[in-house]
Amino acid sequence: MRAMSESETLTDLERGREDCVLRFADGASFRLDYVEVRMSCPCAKCRPRQENEQRLIEFREEVTRLRLDKPKAELVGRYGLRFQWLTGCSSGIYSFELLRNVAEQAGTALD
Ligand SMILES: [Zn+2]
């Protein structure tokens, strides 16, 4: 198994009502809307919906219509998280690497 870099090691997850704060071992923290987390679900059902611009637009419309109440989150091994949404998909395992990428692209960096 490949060693994880500090930037890909999640050290803390604070769940708010509409967004969460992710902290990583390299000291970086990001605020991330649950819509963005849900939009990047890596499961077999959601992955194809992220393939091209048109499908992403439709996927985003669908996800933003859902109520994304504070999901439960559980650690999967030492490398990932599974979110349980009250509505929608709960089968995707988000690797820390994926969460870091999403946080950098769609989140807000915090000091
Ligand atoms: Zn999914």
Tens-digit pLDDT profile for the chain (111 aa)? 556 799 999 999 999 999 999 999 999 999 999 999 999 999 999 999 999 999 999 999 999 998 778 899 999 998 999 999 887 788 899 999 999 999 999 999 998
Length of the chain: 111
Q: How far is the CA of 68 from the centre of ligand 1 (A)?
A: 14
Q: Name the nearest CA neighbour of 94 among 51, 38, 52.
A: 38
Q: Name the nearest CA neighbour of 89 among 55, 63, 109.
A: 63
Q: How far is the CA of 37 from the centre of ligand 1 (A)?
A: 10
Q: How far is the CA of 107 from the centre of ligand 1 (A)?
A: 20
**The domain 6-110 is classified under which CATH number: 3.40.50.620, 3.30.2020.30, 3.40.50.720, 3.40.50.150?**
3.30.2020.30
Which residues neighbour ligand 1 (ion) by CB within 5 Å?
Answer: 41, 43, 46, 89, 92
Dist CA 13 CA 10 (whole Å): 8
Rounded to a whole number of angstroms, the distance between the first and last alpha carbons of the chain is: 32
Triad 68, 70, 76: Cα angle to 5°: 105
- pTM, two decimals, is 0.91
Phi, psi angles (nearest 5°) of residue 26: -85, 5
